[in-house]
Structure 1
């Protein structure tokens, strides 16, 4: 016996990826509905070997449905997620709207699976920011061993994190470099993204950080440990899919790089590829379509007490969004909503 599942925002990058992953992981679906705004009404999407037509989100009745994956922005989520929750359909939300609500669990199943049990507070579970999700998968097993004091992270985030328009902009600008008359001025981003990097993701805050950087701080504290100090610099790079992070970790006690490597090899959701040779590491191109968070370049940092450096790469449309949401549903099913 399976679940009645709704995917809201099924025509977007993340919504389509959710459908792919639900099928790939053989999530127990008895019935599925795919919803979109009226401008996308009737658009066809794939679910395994089936082709589904989108229904109107505005008129959809969530009564009797078990789980709703929301892959739309905060504005639409604010309007429609409470409707689903009021119908006792558990919302798993990919937007940032509910992440910082103390009554709503923010979940990465490899890190804090027990938090899903708090879904009953509001019948909503939040999915973390893509850059945070992959980082905390790496941090948690190390924190359990040696207690993390401080994290310094620089991210290299792909344009797919912004959406389809950003992917198109990178593609068009790249073509425009080589084809006279096809130059493309920036519209999604404040500066050219092709052959460039932009140290600016989301809006700027009063202290000079961006909201993306603030998210990494706040979400790491909520998911792993409020005592961990985090400072982040988030950068958009001309990569279509896959986020990368250079992470520096300071621990309360000494931990050897070999032990770090061994711990991460045994940790759920992680694949260690760490050879000290040309190509002995993972890049964003290689992580696309994979479920794992990849860790490379593990090494001691001798400039601080008890320091470790590492390189972390993951498919942001998967672990950073769709995969994590489906894993939340799997955890919810195993721990709470057992059927049959």
Structure 2
């Protein structure tokens, strides 16, 4: 079947990543408007989405019939998303889980388009998983150091958009109320004010003291970097809408040669070097920006630096589009 006859099906329209995903699909001419199908729950009130100067209607997920010529992207979680995944896989379609539905399922092949896209050809199932935005950024940032990498300790400052569209809307409403001199209404699911705040954790703590997102970040990085690399992570939520920043403590197998490390990072795919990057510098960009490179004062084998990126556009939408392109073209 020709590429022109293929369809891209996106499940989950009420997602903060949808807008940049559609923008990049259109910018790169990955598909035509005739090839795009948008699905949402039957009782959802979702307006048609504009793509390539066309209004694309949003169809009812429960009534949709999946087919083998489709590539299905999951932007939604929950039982309905799990059912859609099973139905699409049973129909012979390729499924790309961009929402964490397959987290912990080793039979779903984790794909970062810059690091291991060749693994698609050896996938056990027609089900691929996209790394979390934080894992995707960190994996890119440390990939040039892979030959000497021993351990990575991550302090990730994630934006509110990492918690979902509901959290974005909640912070916007809280900000407006506070500027009007009113008390901000706190979302009980989060338990803290999002506006003008920093959260030590954006979700419930597990018995280990980690959050599920922190363990998911560690899990994704171990799959991308290899089990021989030790990984630990802490995720804080900061009061910005978009753009993530990670402070990385990277242990190498030998003493740090700072100029060598700088040269390796400078040649990394989609990496840019800057002296003092901020998350704002990366919003709207297609690059991960590396900065504040320095040798640790505690360990001669450790180098410290920060990485910033656009969590929605680059680490989710762009990576998703690149995988979709490969599936439509080659599989």
Q: TM-score, normalised by structure 2?
A: 0.92
Residue 261 of structure 1, CA deviation = 2.1
Question: Residue 13 of structure 1 corresponds to which residue in structure 2?
Answer: 16
Match of 2:287 among 278, 289, 292: 292
Question: Residue 193 of structure 2 corresponds to which residue in structure 1?
Answer: 192
* In 2: Cα distance, 1:242 partner to 1:188 partner: 23
Task: Pick closer, same or farther for the CA change 1:332–1:254 going to 2, 3 Å.
Answer: farther
Q: Which runs of 5+ in 1 are unaligned?
A: 275-280
Runs of 4 or more consecutive aligned structure 1 residues displaced over 6 Å after TM superposition: none
Question: Residue 106 of structure 2 corresponds to which residue in structure 1?
Answer: 102
Deviations 1:18-54 (A, max 9, x none): 2121112221446111111113366211223222110
Question: Residue 277 of structure 1 corresponds to which residue in structure 2?
Answer: none
8 A Cα contact 1:175 1:182, kept in partner: no
**CA RMSD between the two structures:** 1.9
Question: Residue 113 of structure 1 corresponds to which residue in structure 2?
Answer: 117
* In 2: Cα distance, 1:183 partner to 1:31 partner: 43
* In 1: Cα distance, 2:221 partner to 2:84 partner: 27
Question: Residue 132 of structure 2 corresponds to which residue in structure 1?
Answer: 129
Question: Residue 327 of structure 2 corresponds to which residue in structure 1?
Answer: 332
Task: Pick closer, same or farther for the CA change 1:108–1:190 going to 2, 3 Å.
Answer: same
Moved more, 182-191 or 220-229: 182-191
Q: Which runs of 5+ in 2 are unaligned?
A: none
* In 2: Cα distance, 1:75 partner to 1:266 partner: 43
8 A Cα contact 1:99 1:127, kept in partner: no
Question: Residue 95 of structure 2 corresponds to which residue in structure 1?
Answer: 91
8 A Cα contact 1:170 1:193, kept in partner: yes
8 A Cα contact 1:6 1:65, kept in partner: no
* In 2: Cα distance, 1:43 partner to 1:231 partner: 41
Moved more, 23-32 or 247-256: 23-32
SS in 1 for 2:17: helix
SS in 1 for 2:35: strand
Question: Residue 143 of structure 1 corresponds to which residue in structure 2?
Answer: 146
